[in-house]
Amino acid sequence: MNSRGSKTLHIFIFVIVMGTVSGIFLVGVNLWTAPLIAKNEEIKIKSAVLDVLEIPYTKPDLLNVFQEKVREIKKERVILYKGPDEAVAFEFYGPGLWGPVFGFVSINSDLKTIRTIKILHQEETPGLGARIAEAAYLNQFRNKEFLPKLLFVPQGKSSAKNEVDAITGATGSSRALERLLNETLQKNISMLQK
């Protein structure tokens, strides 16, 4: 074989060997970490559900408390979590202003008012839109009626039972959250009443 051919062969073998070795290595790393990552994910979701259903728990016995007190109901690909006091929690997921917003919302047993909202993931502007995830902001949703529609009004002007404050300077994020919450709540409530 001439030198050019052997050079090409060398490159070829090198690339294949390197790809295989690093691939095998990464498969190993993945096998090792995948169960841990799946468990973290499960803990994240279950602790959020317990939080919004307001069931007290401590970190070590989180999974036991969840199993004892929460019933999972699967309906049309949506999982509804029912607490011991008939409150219902479910997730909401959709676009915010800059990126996806993901969280959990719980409604009281009368199926008319919101209990708690918790946002697990958002990518809004820090200090402005990102405030939608702060407890101080989300507390105002407590006992608000979401039927026929939850309304976001300019900051400080909310008075009616279905009105909450929007965030000044974060109109886009507020609107996105308003639409997302209304859509999810309406869809899931009609499913619950069936």
Partner 1 sequence: MPKKIIKRSFKHTKPYKALTTGMWQDHPTFCMVLGICSMLAITNRLDNAIAMGVGVTFCTAFSSLFVSIFRNTIPSRVRMLAYMVIIATFVICVDRFLKAYFPPISEAMGPYVGLIITNCILMGRAEAYAVKNGPWLSFLDGVGCGVGYSFMLVLMAVVREIIGFGTLLGFRVMPETWTNWVVMTIAPGAFFLLGVYLWIFRTIAKKTE
Does 93 interact with partner 1 (rule: CB under 8 A)?
no
Does 151 interact with partner 1 (rule: CB under 8 A)?
no
Residue among 85 and 134 whose Cβ is closer to partner 1? 134
Minimal distance, residue 40 CB to partner 1, in Å? 4
Minimal distance, residue 29 CB to partner 1, in Å? 5
DSSP result, 101-161: EEEEEEE-TTSSBEEEEEEEE--PPTTTGGGGGSHHHHGGGTT-B-SS--EEESTT---ST
Tokens describing residue 49: 């559900």
Does 127 interact with partner 1 (rule: CB under 8 A)?
yes
Does 125 interact with partner 1 (rule: CB under 8 A)?
yes
86-103 in b/e form (b: 16+ CB < 10 A) is ebbbbbbeeebbeeebbb
Cα separation, 134 vs 67, whole angstroms? 28
Under rule CB under 8 A, which residues in 21-40 are in contact with partner 1?
22, 25-26, 29-30, 33, 36-37, 40
Question: Which residues lie near partner 1 (CB under 8 A)?
Answer: 7, 10-11, 14-15, 18-19, 22, 25-26, 29-30, 33, 36-37, 40, 44, 121, 123, 125-128
